[in-house]
Amino acid sequence: MRRSTLGRLAVAACSLSLLTAFAPASAAHGATPYKRVGYFTQWGVYGRDFQVQDLEANGSAGKLTHVNYAFGNIGADGKCFTGNVPGEADAWADYVRPLDAENSVDGVADDGDQPLAGNFNQLRELKARHPGLKVLLSLGGWSWSTHFSDAALTPASRKALVASCIDLYIKGNLPQDGARGGPGAAAGVFDGIDLDWEWPGSAGDTDTTHRPEDKRNFAELVKEFRTQLDAYARSQKKRTTYELTAFVPTAPAKIDAGFDVRRIMRDLDFVTLQGYDFHVSGEKTTAQQSALYARDDFSVAGTVEAWERRGAPARKLVMGMPFYGQGWTGVSGGGDGMGQPATGPAPATWAAGYEDYKALKKLADAGTYQVYRDRRGGHAWLFDGSTLWTYDDPQVLRTKTRYIREEGLGGAMFWSLDADTADGELMTAVDQGLRGH
- pLDDT for residue 177 is more than 50: yes
Q: CA triplet 259, 261, 264: central angle to 5 degrees?
A: 90
Within 10 A of 376 (CB to CB), how many other CB atoms are there? Answer: 11
186 and 116 in contact (C-beta within 8 Å)? Answer: yes
186 and 82 in contact (C-beta within 8 Å)? Answer: no
Catalytic: 407? Answer: no
361 and 421 in contact (C-beta within 8 Å)? Answer: yes
Residue 303 lies in a domain: yes
Q: Quick one: pLDDT band at residue 56, thresholds 50, 70, 90?
A: very high
Q: Quick one: pLDDT band at residue 11, thresholds 50, 70, 90?
A: very low
Q: What is the per-residue pLDDT for 238?
A: 80
Residues 6+ apart with CB under 8 A from 313: 265
Distance between CA 403 and CA 397 in Å, rounded?
A: 10
92-115 as b/e, with b when 16 or more CB fall inside 10 Å? Answer: bbbbbbebeeebbbeeeebeeeeb
- pLDDT for residue 140 is more than 70: yes
Q: What is the per-residue pLDDT for 30?
A: 41
- pLDDT for residue 15 is more than 50: no
- Residues found in the chain: 437
Among candidate residues 418, 427, 408, the one with its CA nearest the CA of residue 9: 408
Residue 21 lies in a domain: no
Q: Quick one: pLDDT band at residue 32, thresholds 50, 70, 90?
A: low
Distance between CA 123 and CA 244 in Å, rounded?
A: 19
- pLDDT for residue 26 is more than 60: no
**Looking at the DSSP assignment, which residues form a beta bridge with residue 72?**
139
Q: What is the mean pLDDT of residues 185-209?
A: 98
Residue 58 lies in a domain: yes
Q: What is the pLDDT of residues 118-127, one digit of tens each?
A: 999 999 999 9
Q: What is the per-residue pLDDT for 217?
A: 98
| Element containing residue 329 per DSSP (H, E) | strand 324-329
CA atoms within 13 A on the CB side of 364: 20
**Looking at the DSSP assignment, which residues form a beta bridge with residue 80?**
74
Question: What mean pLDDT value characterizes the chain?
Answer: 93
- pLDDT for residue 17 is more than 50: no
422 and 430 in contact (C-beta within 8 Å)? Answer: no
- pLDDT for residue 29 is more than 60: no
406 and 7 in contact (C-beta within 8 Å)? Answer: no
Residue 150 CA: distances (Å) to CA of 207, 209, 264, 411: 12, 8, 19, 32
Q: In this structure, what are the phi and psi dihedrals at residue 212, rounded to the nearest 5 degrees?
A: -60, -35
Distance between CA 3 and CA 9 in Å, rounded?
A: 9
Domain count, the chain: 1
In eight-state DSSP terms, residue 270 is E
Torsion 374-375-380-385 (CA) sign: positive
What is the C-alpha radius of gyration for the chain, rounded to an integer number of angstroms? 21
Residue 15 lies in a domain: no
Q: What is the per-residue pLDDT for 239?
A: 81
Distance between CA 53 and CA 154 in Å, rounded?
A: 41
**Which CATH number do you get for residue 188?**
3.20.20.80
Query: Dihedral of the CA atoms 183, 185, 189, 193 (nearest 10)?
Result: -40
Distance between CA 417 and CA 38 in Å, rounded?
A: 6
- pLDDT for residue 24 is more than 50: no
Q: What is the pLDDT of residues 306-345, one digit of tens each?
A: 999 999 999 999 999 999 999 999 999 999 999 999 999 9
Within 10 A of 276 (CB to CB), how many other CB atoms are there? Answer: 26
Q: What is the per-residue pLDDT for 39?
A: 98
Among candidate residues 239, 310, 242, the one with its CA nearest the CA of residue 273: 310
Q: Domain residues for 418? A: 32-325+392-434
Q: What is the per-residue pLDDT for 19?
A: 38
In eight-state DSSP terms, residue 344 is E
Chain centroid to CA 368: 32
Among candidate residues 434, 431, 391, the one with its CA nearest the CA of residue 415: 391
Chain centroid to CA 291: 18
Residue 387 lies in a domain: no
Chain centroid to CA 175: 26
**Active-site residue (options: 56, 102, 125, 198):** 198
Residue 80 lies in a domain: yes
Residue 419 CA: distances (Å) to CA of 37, 90, 353: 14, 21, 15
Q: What is the pLDDT of residues 259-315, one digit of tens each?
A: 999 999 999 999 999 999 999 999 999 999 999 999 999 999 999 999 999 999 999
Residue 174 lies in a domain: yes
Could you tell me the pTM of the whole model? Answer: 0.92
Torsion 97-57-87-249 (CA) sign: positive
Distance between CA 364 and CA 393 in Å, rounded?
A: 10
Q: Which amino acid is at 333?
A: G
In eight-state DSSP terms, residue 290 is S
Q: What is the per-residue pLDDT for 237?
A: 82
